[in-house]
Structure 1
């Protein structure tokens, strides 16, 4: 049984590396599975050989070959926001080319016996009808499609024939796979900032300016601030980090998943515009404030708190600072987390049955 794990793999993105780690550990439970992984990184994915010692790694720096999937019995998408398209217009020529390549890559493989499934998938946003059609053609080939939020459920039902499952993000299974016994010992007075550039909405870039000013205020209050980037960013983004603060970038070649998680575990609070940092903070019990650059941050936040602290990216720095005084008001929702984990485990049981079907 040849099983391929696919997704946004090999790009040194903490969120996607975490999802890969979880999927890999889940599939290792199955006997008789020949495990394969495909990386689409142009460089710097050597860490996968250490990260995934029991898997065969296939590397492609450009498009995946048209008939690549045909050699596998099952293809499993590890999760993450991999189906989206911000193009406002797609020409007829490009549209037809994409339609044809999808038929050769997915439909032909399915006709040859390959089966597709995925859990924790983010679908959307889309800015054109043709983009929806292109991805709808792909999703029509899935036997099981678990999506991570209600917006994705609605979109899938609009663009594809497959009936989606609402399964939340797979990082909720982190506790089963990570010991969380980090080597990092950090002062509980430290704040963690997890920002990102959001070029799709220029107005959201203001949150980077706000965080810089907020850091200066927190320093004045006697707090240490550490900026954690879940992937390497362009140099101009790092320019927002004050010299007095520590800058840490996820690097799987020099640190492990648990090491990075430890920064969250030992922090006073987390302020973030990155979804997976919200999940990690919630799981390890670090209070957090979500910066609402995307509805997925709201969805994630509501899982951990009855009334989560969510702030708009373009709000004033005074509003950001005021949120910090409300951290003590956060009230956890343990029952919701247990329920969502049960849903995820049940979904994985369906995937296990699907693997050997």
Structure 2
């Protein structure tokens, strides 16, 4: 029996990462026989509610394969010399798992080289000339037995570093995501219902500036019904504070399953999303969506799925109103999503070949 550890930002009350975890579990259970799965993320008391056969945070688990499962694994938003003490503290607060991993590597032998390694559907960058972060990413990926990236920018890094890689897609686009039937909503108010998926953004000022402009738009735009959606309540504390008097849909894995939360999202007519997986899920539910360009991966997504609109920096309120007015509630994502699905499936099935070749 082969033992796989799948690492990601799982168990951090972030719906996008928890969805990734469940898609990966479905992939491995569907395509492989005789596996033991151990998912590794933040210590959490809810992840077992989401998994079917996989285990979570098994301390004595010795893996034959270390799988880095989706997400943005390597990035830096400022060069090292520009990183303030405040930003370092914020990083430590918002990324306790990363800090624990760094401490662990100091205290004990890093087991990275003791197992075969694969990166599946992950993103690289941006780095903003942080050469230490670039060297770290290059070193880690160069040691891997398989590298499958989710977008062209990440693929270009691998090409530049002479690292063989498969250009895939985010695995939520794959055949292993069990999406609900498309639901066309009707509302007694007669207004369209738009979900606003928000996130805190402490990495850099230009992305963070969307918050006040979005709130101004929300207060002044009267031709739609809005509801805020928080994918990561334990992380997005600034937004939670701002929305204390609002009707908010929160990802609560003690209350919702993945399916039932998707059913809640399915009730909206369209979305404005500052979260990457919020926009992906919206497109898979065949809802029109506007990405908020708080970071490059949201812009990259609009280049991959051209039907997705982009609210660009510096986040002009009138521009957002124009984008909402232009939403196509009969949007047809078929061609774009078929391409994303084909790329994601190809990457995952290529890994399956390598897995069986090298054991």
TM-score of the aligned structures, taking structure 1 as reference length: 0.82
Indicate the larger mover: 309-318 or 81-90. 81-90
Separation in 2, partners of 1:329, 1:2: 45
What residue number does 1:105 align with?
110
Separation in 2, partners of 1:290, 1:330: 18
What residue number does 1:208 align with?
211
SS in 2 for 1:248: strand
Cα distance, 1:274 vs structure 2: 0.9
In 2 relative to 1, CA 158–123 (structure 1 residues): closer, same or farther, beyond 3 Å?
Answer: same
Alignment of structure 1 residues 29-68 onto 2, 5 Å: 29=30, 30-39=32-41, 41-42=42-43, 45-58=44-57
1:320 aligned onto 2:320: yes
Find 1:131's aligned residue among 119, 130, 133.
133
Cα distance, 1:18 vs structure 2: 0.9
Note the alpha carbon deviations across 1:163-211, whole angstroms, 9 max, x for none: 12111111112x6442515999773721100121222221322321122
Separation in 1, partners of 2:329, 2:196: 20
SS in 2 for 1:154: helix
In 2 relative to 1, CA 239–56 (structure 1 residues): closer, same or farther, beyond 3 Å?
Answer: closer
| Aligned 8 A contact 1:305 1:331 in 2 | no
Higher relative contact order (CA 8 A, sep 6+): 2
In 2 relative to 1, CA 263–301 (structure 1 residues): closer, same or farther, beyond 3 Å?
Answer: farther
Separation in 1, partners of 2:111, 2:186: 48
What residue number does 1:140 align with?
142
Cα distance, 1:107 vs structure 2: 5.4
| Aligned 8 A contact 1:38 1:58 in 2 | yes
In 2 relative to 1, CA 116–73 (structure 1 residues): closer, same or farther, beyond 3 Å?
Answer: same
What residue number does 2:220 align with?
217
- Long gaps (5+) in structure 1: 61-67, 91-97
What residue number does 1:80 align with?
71
What residue number does 2:342 align with?
342
| Aligned 8 A contact 2:193 2:270 in 1 | yes
Cα distance, 1:329 vs structure 2: 9.0
Note the alpha carbon deviations across 1:80-100, whole angstroms, 9 max, x for none: 11212345228xxxxxxx7x9
TM-score of the aligned structures, taking structure 2 as reference length: 0.82
1:164 aligned onto 2:165: yes
What residue number does 2:306 align with?
305
In 2 relative to 1, CA 14–115 (structure 1 residues): closer, same or farther, beyond 3 Å?
Answer: same
Across the two proteins, how many residue pairs are aligned to each other? Answer: 329
In 2 relative to 1, CA 186–6 (structure 1 residues): closer, same or farther, beyond 3 Å?
Answer: farther
Cα distance, 1:72 vs structure 2: 1.6
SS in 2 for 1:54: coil
SS in 1 for 2:328: helix
Alignment of structure 1 residues 196-345 onto 2, 5 Å: 196-218=199-221, 220-221=222-223, 223-232=224-233, 233-241=235-243, 243=245, 245-306=246-307, 308-328=308-328, 332-345=332-345
In 2 relative to 1, CA 184–38 (structure 1 residues): closer, same or farther, beyond 3 Å?
Answer: farther
In 2 relative to 1, CA 262–304 (structure 1 residues): closer, same or farther, beyond 3 Å?
Answer: farther
Separation in 1, partners of 2:208, 2:113: 42
